[in-house]
Structure 1
Amino acid sequence: MPTRIIPVIMCGGAGSRLWPVSRDTMPKQFISLFGRESTFQRAMALLADEKVFASAIVITNTEYRFTVQEQLLAIGATAQIVLEPTRRDSAAAVAVATELALARDPDAIVGVFAADHVVQDGSQFVETCRQAAAVAAQGRIVTIGIAPTHPASSYGYIRLGDDIGDGAREVAAFVEKPDEARATQYLLDGYLWNSGNFIFDAATMRNELEAFEPEVLHPVVEAVARAKTDLDFVLLDLAAFGQAKKISIDYAVMERTKKAAVVSGKFGWSDVGAWSAVWDLSDKDADGNVVEGRGYVLDGSNNLVRSEDALVAVIGLDDIAVISTRDAVLVAPKAKADKVKEMVALITANGESEAGAHREIQRPWGKYLSVDMGSRYQVKRITVKPGGVLSLQKHYHRAEHWVVVRGTAEVTRNGEIIVVHETESIYLPIGCVHRMANPGKIPLELIEVQVGSYLGEDDIVRIEDVYSRV
């Protein structure tokens, strides 16, 4: 292989197929679905072989930037974190990756991988990437196909063309998601699933984008040239990036290029596209049940029970999924798990905030959980990590009362610095300029009681912020 692969992790999506655990405020790539690590962290771990992979690029958005940073730190990984200022679909993201890679090396080979997929055989995955890179170095765009295990109607398929050597085939056609009967025929005809992961010669991809979608490439080139470094992030220029055409890389290039090739990946792949897939990939008890959290099953088999908080008891049921979070519960036959996205659309249409937002919200300084809310009050449980600092801010419509239950808070109130210890409290009247920091070595935990005529998060006037959110 002439050069190491520059791996690019696409990490900006906000899927709803694993609702209510996955939501816009914390999508599935950042959730620990199997063991302690998220699928994003597992994806990064796959790319740790420095003989095969160069340092990674993670493409995400401003909303998830601190989650990406924190999850990388937790596993001791590093990456160039690139922020899209607005969502323009995957073609623009691939164009960004191509420009950044070419800036490193004019002969760059790039691998684009999803942050929310699961690979079971890591060494075989690396070997497949090595094989694909050798083909890509010949001026090819190589997609990784997966041998189907069943006639899935939720995946796109690849029809194989001529053998081009090195274990690769030309792509005769990309085929959209079929019905079950057609998918069954595809299996008999030797089609592969399209995993959406691909490896390409960067110069070739740039030329194809220029030929097929200059309305994607040219704004991206400008956005990268005018990008700024903000803290540890690369922020693409909004004015330029916002002009990029919104189109997927499949439609923009993959289905039009004559340079597409495919290698077959036999490393145990799943896009974890439904709760049924989570059950498939999880360890099961003697009755085939998967239980995470405070769950119990009696006289039932092949169930998936997952609870973040409440006690969940299932009696006399088979093949169902029960997913319980602090504020929402999903109950469905596993065979109907692909309908979750439709249910979320229905919930969204009825204006339910739980469709996209969790009660626990992550922030760069820690997190907060909404415990109770009324017409003129809200109670939050706030956790500030050691060294964390909230913005210097004020509110026009609410007063706040902070009660420290663990650790020590350093509070700035109208220029005065006050140290608040466990069991102590402090009052912040409407309009006062205030800030809180955790100077200690353990997490700071406190209860915040807000009282006022308006309690929305947009009643925060930030004056200074160490996380550049002003």
Structure 2
Amino acid sequence: MGQTGDIAQTAGASPAPGVQAIILAGGSGTRLWPLSRTLLPKQLLAINGEKTLLQNTLARTLSVFPARGTWVVTNEEHVFEVRGQLRRVDPGLEANILAEPMGKNTLPAVLLALDRILGENSPEAQSGVVVGVFPSDHMVGDVAAWKSCVERGESLARDGYLVTFGARADTPETGYGYIRRGAALGDGAYVVDGFTEKPDLEMARSMVADGAHLWNTGMFLFRADVFLAAVEKHAPMHFAWWRARREKPLILGYGGIPELSVDYGLLERMKRLAVIEAGFDWDDLGNWAAVYRLGAKDQNGCVVQGDVLALDCHDSLLVSRGGKLAVTGISDMIVVQTRDATLACPMSRQQGVKDVVAALAAEGSPLVEAHVTVRRPWGSYTVLEEGPGYKIKRIEVLPGARLSLQMHHHRSEHWVVIAGTAEVQLGERIFLLAENQSVDIPKTTEHRLSNPGKVLVEIIEIQSGPYLEEDDIVRYDDVYGRRVGGADSPEIDRAQKRPEGE
């Protein structure tokens, strides 16, 4: 098990009773491509406004839950970006990041966080802990109303209910799950009378018309002992994994457990369930049509973001995150442009974006994984140009930061410093390079780039060789806890074969 995943076992505040929150931030997302990519999914993006969806979720959660008791579960690949975003909300939250080595859906992620929340507390103490679970990539329109719903839910959770939250279903959405209300419990709460997952259009229309169905927001509250008893009954394999955590950390057995959602694994099988009808606007921002629906529209009904020239366009979403986007004479369209990809489709076909991503993945396109600029814990790199046998990058290294000590089997590199003063380790030599100075890095030579100064270092890196993908990195030492190992080390595994770079 690599060091990055160990964050989930060693970092964070000591367990505390009372109320605790788990924010699920591990999804990869495909429906907001090309803006959302595997290495920068939608929860890490600012979709509408300056703050990212994750930052908005954190701010909302902290209005009810203490920072010390707020935990963020994410994927190993996203830890460093999540850490930076948490730092801008509350620096103390950095210690409460839990890293999954791989995505296994929501139930294992919640159990991973519960391991930290409950710690060594006895089963009797666990009954006093109420936990809220919240997706990181949803939009909530009225924070005060959301807070009121959560506070009502806490009371029901303490009475032994697993509490869900349902948004008013006012349109027949086929991409949402639905909750059927049963007997009233008072104060906007009802017994849950059943779930329906992503119905067809005819059924969705019927459920909206009967007024008894709510959209499933994916948020829920529970008492820890109630939740674990449900896991033991309905997901015994996961409970056995959880119970063995005293002998072996959960993170070490993560690869052996099946994927399972809380909804399918527990909620749809439990009896003591309550739903609170949300008094707040909610959307899961699951597709570009949702972004259009929630966006500020101009006089022609268009939502325009970025450097866009729109002539005679109506009722369309037009987004540019790179370069000038010029559009004329279209209606009911989605056009989204980034520096390396453009999506154009009718508003009525927005569900087909996932098929575009699947087709790109099938042909091995890097456009699924990352943008041309990839943020790393030490800074970022941008692919400027590439072709057969060569690739050109601009690398930015933050003050005081350093890349891993590494080498490449198949490529050599040439570095030119264009800003700042870089420290270079090349084999046994360590030396400084100022602006306009350069160095050659032969293949199979250990090397490292560092920024010892107080200003940003920028270099141009020219790679050449028969194979230039990012998995041609053997990492020997890393200050950010990423996996390390020599050329024959068993640590050179899937984590070394991601497009994370340097």
The residue type equivalent to 2:63 in the other structure is D
- Tell me if structure 1 keeps the 8 A contact 2:37–2:369: yes
Instruction: Give the structure with the larger strand fraction.
Output: 1
- The question of 1:31 aligning with 2:52 is answered no
- The question of 1:7 aligning with 2:28 is answered no
Distance apart, 1:369 and its partner CA: 1.3
The 5 Å alignment of 1:176-325 reads 176-190=197-211, 191-223=213-245, 226-227=248-249, 236-238=250-252, 240-325=253-338
Q: What 5-or-longer segments of structure 1 have no aligned partner?
A: 228-235
The residue type equivalent to 2:236 in the other structure is P
- The question of 1:457 aligning with 2:470 is answered yes
Distance apart, 1:53 and its partner CA: 6.9
The residue type equivalent to 1:423 in the other structure is N
User: Could you say what secondary structure the match of 2:403 adopts?
Assistant: coil
Q: What 5-or-longer segments of structure 2 have no aligned partner?
A: 1-16, 485-502
Q: Provide the rounded CA distance (Å) in 1 between the counterparts of 2:444 and 2:56.
A: 45
Change (3 A) 1:456 1:350: closer
- The question of 1:419 aligning with 2:432 is answered yes
Q: Provide the rounded CA distance (Å) in 1 between the counterparts of 2:280 and 2:91.
A: 23
Q: Provide the rounded CA distance (Å) in 1 between the counterparts of 2:168 and 2:284.
A: 14
- The question of 1:368 aligning with 2:381 is answered yes
The residue type equivalent to 1:29 in the other structure is Q
Distance apart, 1:96 and its partner CA: 2.3
Distance apart, 1:166 and its partner CA: 4.2
- Tell me if structure 1 keeps the 8 A contact 2:64–2:147: no
Distance apart, 1:274 and its partner CA: 0.8
Q: Structure 2-normalised TM-score?
A: 0.87
Change (3 A) 1:257 1:156: same
Instruction: Give 1:347's aligned residue.
Output: 360
Distance apart, 1:52 and its partner CA: 6.7
- The question of 1:396 aligning with 2:409 is answered yes
- The question of 1:40 aligning with 2:54 is answered yes
Aligned-pair Cα RMSD in Å: 1.8
User: Could you say what secondary structure the match of 1:92 adopts?
Assistant: helix
Q: Provide the rounded CA distance (Å) in 2 between the counterparts of 1:402 and 1:92.
A: 44
Change (3 A) 1:116 1:224: farther
The residue type equivalent to 1:212 in the other structure is H
Q: Provide the rounded CA distance (Å) in 1 between the counterparts of 2:268 and 2:65.
A: 32
Deviations 1:166-190 (A, max 9, x none): 4311100011212222212212222
Distance apart, 1:337 and its partner CA: 1.2
Q: Provide the rounded CA distance (Å) in 1 between the counterparts of 2:108 and 2:55.
A: 24
2:448 to 420, 429, 435: 435
Instruction: Give 2:150's aligned residue.
Output: 129
Change (3 A) 1:430 1:52: closer
- Tell me if structure 1 keeps the 8 A contact 2:20–2:65: no
Change (3 A) 1:8 1:225: farther
Q: Provide the rounded CA distance (Å) in 1 between the counterparts of 2:227 and 2:315.
A: 45
- Tell me if structure 2 keeps the 8 A contact 1:52–1:130: no
Instruction: Give 2:491's aligned residue.
Output: none
1:65 to 59, 67, 79: 79
The residue type equivalent to 1:273 in the other structure is G
The residue type equivalent to 2:328 in the other structure is I
Instruction: Give 2:5's aligned residue.
Output: none
- Tell me if structure 1 keeps the 8 A contact 2:21–2:65: no
Change (3 A) 1:408 1:456: same
Q: Provide the rounded CA distance (Å) in 2 between the counterparts of 1:271 and 1:412.
A: 47
Deviations 1:260-281 (A, max 9, x none): 1100112111100111111122
Instruction: Give 1:329's aligned residue.
Output: 342
Distance apart, 1:383 and its partner CA: 1.3
Q: Provide the rounded CA distance (Å) in 2 between the counterparts of 1:254 and 1:423.
A: 62
User: Could you say what secondary structure the match of 2:306 adopts?
Assistant: strand
